[in-house]
Structures are given as structure tokens and as C-alpha cells.
Amino acid sequence: MINQANILVVDDEPSQRQAIGGFLKKLNYIVLTSPNGEDALAQIKNRPIDLVISDIRMPGMNGLELQAQAHEIIPDLTFIFMTAYGSVDDAVEAMRKGAYNYLAKPIDLDELEISITKALENRRLIAENRQLKQMLQAKGESQGLISSSQGMDEVLNVVARVAPTSATVLIQGESGTGKERVARVIHYGSPRTDKPLVIVNCAAIPETLLESEMFGHEAGAFTGAQALRKGKLELANGGTLFIDEIGDMPPSIQPKLLRFLQEGTIERLGSAKSIKLDIRIIAATHRDLEQMVRQGAFREDLYFRLNVIKLNIPPLRERKSDIIPLTEHFIKIYAQKNSKQVLGFTSQAKDALLKYNYPGNVRELENAIEAAVVLTRNEAIDINDLPYSLHSQGGLHTYNDDDPLPIKLEVIEKRLVIEALRKADGNQSQAARVLGISEKNIRDRLKKWGYKT
């Protein structure tokens, strides 16, 4: 429980330590106190501490020095600083170095209680996230699930809490954001990890076959059904069924899935016998199901049954801080897979990677890096190893209003050539025909601009 946390109060004023310590004890926290940084550091070395509430300015070791040295012992130890008016700049500096919050003196006890609750909850979520990642790495299921952004950290924090349960999960996000990977994380982080994870993609199976694919059929149920066949639901019994692109599920099949979610039973096509199943359902879609419900294209009661826990995966363009860690991750994977010595990327390539908007999200980034690793002749991926689509948004084809006309014209020319090459999948002859110029003209321009030809 959060209120069983060990909190260390550090202040050189005895009255302050007594007042805050007494208040925290009334809230059922385990409270330790210290008159200075040196004594506090000794306690941190010898006792389990969850949160430090410390003054900034103290004789001897100040709060910032205490934080720095404490983090050498417990890297994720949470700090809340107390600061007088004159030391606000120090408190802001402490926040930059990892402190959770700072409070101005005289301390408002209600504000302190709220800050402590949030800080301990944040610490717990970070610990859960770390445990989840360690577990997934041990199982080999963490590929591509890289998170250094707040948006993905929030998703993984929810995943860490929901994975050990049997709750139904609805994952929403644009194509390529990694919805299937998140589903795999949930399954392999659950008690069902040793049971089947079965995947069915509603968009990839014709409507006439989807019902049989999901629910199975008896021999003779329809023309061509020569033998009994178990559906995806039966195959997932005891484990997890991941229904991808559930927004594409035909209205004719939705009632049967709803019945399973309500009763836990199914009937194969051609049979009236109910089969009891124990399955966790994880569904995903890039569509707006709420809008589809309003339009009558998706059953409202099914939507509510699926929407027990909703996870919204942010697009890659909204979590730019994940791009470089993901890139490094994919370089390592595909360099090893292709037996190539590729160790990183140039600053120009990095700039292009960060400025691109990734309409295809993580999948597009992964494909781009795989291709770059295969094609590069160097140990570092250069901008010219990246797809033309990344070049066109990589900051190389923009101009300022006050630039001379020749520069503006060249930028426009680059945009036209690169866009034509992108649409032609890099085929220079085809791009030249679209632009009405010769292939040699294309090559000469690319060479002039520093691109590979």
C-alpha cells in the first residue's frame, strides 16, 4: 500500500522536521528524519527509503548535493524539495536533475499530502514499467516496444497494471503504431503466458470466411466443409485471442462475438452445441469505433463490452523522443540479421529522422532502417541511405521568406524531384517521365545535391 512507504524528512530546523514528520505519521507513513545531508545519505545507504522530502539550503551538504549522491545509491529515488523564496532557482535546477516536485515554505500541508501521493504513485508506476520490460526482455517479446516518451510511458504503465488480469482490452491507434506488439506484451505479461496467443485480422479475411475462421464449423456445415474445423476462439482456449482491426468486423458476425463476451460460450457453424471457453479478448483498430457506433456501423453493446480497458497508442509524430532509441534498436537487430557492421547514423541522417512525420508510424521507421542497413556501405547510416520520403521532410527542402530567389527556386525543384522519386519508389526513369525531363537530368541534379545515384 502507498501509505506504508518509508519517507525521509531532511531539514536543519528541528521544528520543521517535527511538524512535517508528525503530519506524515498521522497519514500512516513510516517517517524517518535527518538534520543534514550527511546523516540523510547514511540513512539512505542503510535503510529502504521510498521518498525524500528535503530542504534545499542546509549547512554542509545542500539538497542538490544530497540528491546527486543519493541517486548514485538508488538511481530512481524520488525527491520533493522544500524551498524558501530565495532558493526557487535551486529548486528548479533540482527538477531538471530529476526531482519530482518542489514546495515553497511555509509548507501547505494539504499541498504536501497531494504531492506525496502523486510522487509515490509515479514511483510505483515506474517500478511496474521496469518490471514489465525486464520480464518481456527475458521472454524475448520486447522487440520494437521502446519507450522514452511520456505518451508511451503512460501506455506501458497501464499495460503493466492490466496485464496480470483477465480484463478485456481495446487498443486504438493509427496503422503501424504497434498495436499488435502491445497486445503481445499484455499476453506475455499475464498468467496466460504459457497458453496460446491466437491472432485473427478481420480486415484480411473475406466476410464469407470470417465467421468460420473465428467460430469453426462442423463437417457439412456448408459447401466445401468436408471436416470439422476448430475456429480461432477454440484454438485460443485458456489463452488470449487478439482480434486485429475489429472495426472491420462485419455486422453479421458482431452478435456472435457479443454472445461470447456475455456468456463465454460459442457454437460452431452447423452445430447447436454450446462450447464453454476461457479466453481473454484483446481487440485493436485504427478506426474511430465511437463514431462507427453513432453511424450504426458497429454495435453499441459490443463496443461497451470491448471497451473495458482502452489503450490509445500515440502516433510516432507525437512521441519524437522515441525515434532515436527505436532507430538504434532497429539498427542493432537488422545489422545482426544481415551480418553487417552498422553502428549508428550520421548527424544529417539523425536530423532527417527527427523531422519526418511518419504517416506509417513505427512500422515505416522500421522498414526504413532495415533498408538503410542493407544498402549502406558504411558503418554509419547517412541521409542518402534513407528512403526519399525521409529526405523530402528532413529539413533539406525548406526556405525562409528572406532567402534569395535562386535558393527558393532550387528548394522547389528539390521538392518536385524528390516527390516524383518517392511516388516512383526510387525509379529514376519513371520519375523523369512524370517530370518531363531526361533521366540524365535527374541523375545530374541528385549528384549536385549530394544524393546517391
| 254-296 pLDDT tens trace | 999 999 999 999 988 878 788 999 999 999 999 999 999 999 9
- Per-residue pLDDT averaged across 306-334, rounded? 93
Cell digits of residue 21: 514528520
171 or 387: which leads in pLDDT = 171
- CA–CA gap between residue 157 and residue 260 (Å, rounded): 29
- Per-residue pLDDT averaged across 152-169, rounded? 88
The neighbouring-strand residues paired with 31 are 7
pLDDT in tens, 112-144: 999 999 898 888 777 776 666 666 554 544 455
Average pLDDT, the chain: 85
pLDDT in tens, 225-257: 667 788 899 999 999 999 999 999 999 999 999
The predicted pLDDT at position 394 comes to 47
- Domain(s) of CATH 3.40.50.300: residues in the chain: 150-202+233-261+274-312
- CA–CA gap between residue 28 and residue 56 (Å, rounded): 25
The predicted pLDDT at position 129 comes to 66
- Per-residue pLDDT averaged across 142-155, rounded? 74
Q: Which class for 289: exposed (0-12), middle (13-18), buried (19 or more C-beta within 10 A)?
A: buried
219 or 213: which leads in pLDDT = 213
DSSP 313: P
Cell digits of residue 417: 524531384
The predicted pLDDT at position 259 comes to 93
- CA–CA gap between residue 42 and residue 32 (Å, rounded): 12
Task: Provide the phi-psi class of 223: left if phi over 0, else alpha when psi is between -120 and 50, else beta.
Answer: beta
- CA–CA gap between residue 13 and residue 408 (Å, rounded): 65
Nearest Cα neighbor of 281 from 182, 183, 177 is: 183
The predicted pLDDT at position 225 comes to 63
pLDDT at 450 over 70: no
The predicted pLDDT at position 112 comes to 92
Confidence at 56, pLDDT banded by 50, 70, 90: confident
The predicted pLDDT at position 452 comes to 55
147 or 329: which leads in pLDDT = 329
* CATH number for domain 318-448, candidates 3.40.50.1220, 3.40.640.10, 1.10.8.60, 1.10.3720.10: 1.10.8.60
- The model's pTM is 0.64
* Yes or no: domain 150-202+233-261+274-312 corresponds to CATH 3.50.50.60: no
- CA–CA gap between residue 211 and residue 207 (Å, rounded): 7
Confidence at 34, pLDDT banded by 50, 70, 90: very high
pLDDT at 399 over 60: no
The predicted pLDDT at position 380 comes to 92
The predicted pLDDT at position 441 comes to 87
Evaluate whether 123 touches 78 at the Cβ level (below 8 Å).
Answer: yes
The predicted pLDDT at position 285 comes to 95
Q: What percent of the chain has pLDDT over 90?
A: 45
- Domain(s) of CATH 1.10.8.60: residues in the chain: 318-448
Q: Which of 182-186, 193-197, 205-209, 238-242 has the lowest mean pLDDT?
A: 205-209
Place of cell 456472435: 256
Q: What percent of the chain has pLDDT over 70?
A: 88
347 or 134: which leads in pLDDT = 347
- Domain(s) of CATH 3.40.50.2300: residues in the chain: 2-125
The predicted pLDDT at position 103 comes to 87
- CA–CA gap between residue 212 and residue 270 (Å, rounded): 10
pLDDT at 223 over 90: no
Residue 336: what residue type?
Answer: Q
Q: 2-125: what CATH class?
A: alpha beta
The predicted pLDDT at position 105 comes to 85
For 28, the 3-state DSSP assignment is coil
